[in-house]
Amino acid sequence: MKERRGAPLKHNVIRSKMKKGYPLMTDPILSSHFPDTDWFQESSLRKMLRNHTAVYIKPDVGRKGNGVIRLKRLNRYEHEISHGETTIICPSKKLYSELTKMLNPKKNYLVQQGIDLATYRKRPFDVRVVLQKPLNTWRATLMSAKIAPNESSVVTNVAKGAKDLNVYKAINGIDQSVNRPEVLRDLLDVSHQIAQKLDSVFPLRILGLDMGIDKKGKVWFIEANTKPDNVGLENIDRKLYRKYRAAKKWMRKG
């Protein structure tokens, strides 16, 4: 059914990370950019730790990096648990019971492959890509790099002390040897593919994507926000911000 002229186009706000992630992890192309992910339980945790040296435990519904736990396999017998500002060493046989003490029993959690993020001045970062659909075409209208406050930060959320930086400056300043033009091209290409895929499942008009770049230059999906908070980005790239405001104006007109 066609939208009536002047009527606002539909936009769904999806809060579940798994609900947003499932169409991507099952897509034959986009799945290669999606980190290994499962519901958190003892069997999935053990399997994930056999396959990856670092994993994250995340609430299925959550914001601003709250409740995220990072695990690192130190050896066969010990794991490092980092939660907020606290890091402890835990015997492997007690790992699951120790983790469940930290989790909210009223929430569902995911266990996800950790990405060895590229660094800028030795600090890991990811990239926020905001896409809008003002005239039935997805456009990347805002981008910024989120630089973690220190080398060992668990998350790169601005709410946890990360700093926004111009994305071109961050990519050009990556500490690792990567093909920078190719990284930027892949970042935009994969972001557009993700927007189109999610829009085919949930009618959407705006998306905030958290995208990772690993130390080899590969682009990874981290998270999609269907109600992105773009406060403070107007000073990061004024040209892009004007593009974002113009698209927002068109969307208000329906």
| CA dihedral (135, 136, 139, 142) positive or negative | positive
Measure Cα distances from 4 to 77, 247, 250 in Å: 63, 20, 16
CATH numeric code, 27-34+116-253: 3.30.470.20
Percentage of the residues of the chain whose pLDDT score is greater than 70: 87
Residue pLDDT, tens place only, 25-48: 999 999 999 999 999 999 999 999
Least confident stretch, 113-127, 187-201, 202-216, 236-250 = 236-250
251 or 65, which is more confident? Answer: 65
User: Please, what is the end-to-end C-alpha distance for the chain in angstroms?
Assistant: 16
Residue 135: count other Cβ atoms within 10 Å of its Cβ.
9
Q: For all residues of the chain together, what is the average pLDDT? A: 88
182 or 5, which is more confident? Answer: 182
**Domain residue spans in the chain?**
27-34+116-253, 37-113
Banded pLDDT at 254 (limits 50, 70, 90) = low
| Burial track 72-106 (b if 16+ CB lie within 10 A, e otherwise) | bbeeeeebebbbeeeeeebeeeebeeebeeebeee
Give percent helix, percent strand, percent coil of the chain, each to the nearest 5. Answer: 30, 30, 40
Percentage of the residues of the chain whose pLDDT score is greater than 90: 70
